[in-house]
Structure 1
Amino acid sequence: MQVKENSFLVTGGASGLGESVARAIVSQGGNVVIADLNESAGQSLVAELGDSARFVRCDITNGDEVQSAVEMAESAFGGLQGSINCAGIVVVQKLLNRDNNPADLEAFSRGVNINLVGSFNVARLVAASIAKRITNDSSAGEHAEKNHVQKNADQGIIINTASIAAFDGQVGQASYSSSKAGVVGLTLPLARELARHGIRVMTIAPGVFATPMMESIPEKAREQLEAGVPYPKRLGAPNEFAKLVTHIIDNAYLNGEVIRLDGAIRMV
Structure 2
Amino acid sequence: MGRIRVGPARVPSRETAEEAVRLLVDRGYAACEIDFEGGFWMDYPWAARLGELAREHDVALSVHAPLFGFMGHLEASGRKWSSAVGALDRSAGIAAACGAELVVLHPGFLLGRSRGDAIASVVEQLGILRERLEGKGRAVPFGVEVMGRVRDLGSLEDCVAIASEVDWVRPVVDFAHMHATSDGAFLEVERFAESLATVDAVLEPGAPFHVHFSDIAFANRNEKHHLPYGEGTLRAEPLRAALGRFERPATVISESPDEESSQAIRRALIDDAAGAH
TM tier relative to shorter chain: 0.3 to 0.5
Larger radius of gyration: 1
The structure where helix makes up a greater share of residues is 1
Scaled by the length of structure 2, the TM-score of the pair is 0.39
Scaled by the length of structure 1, the TM-score of the pair is 0.40
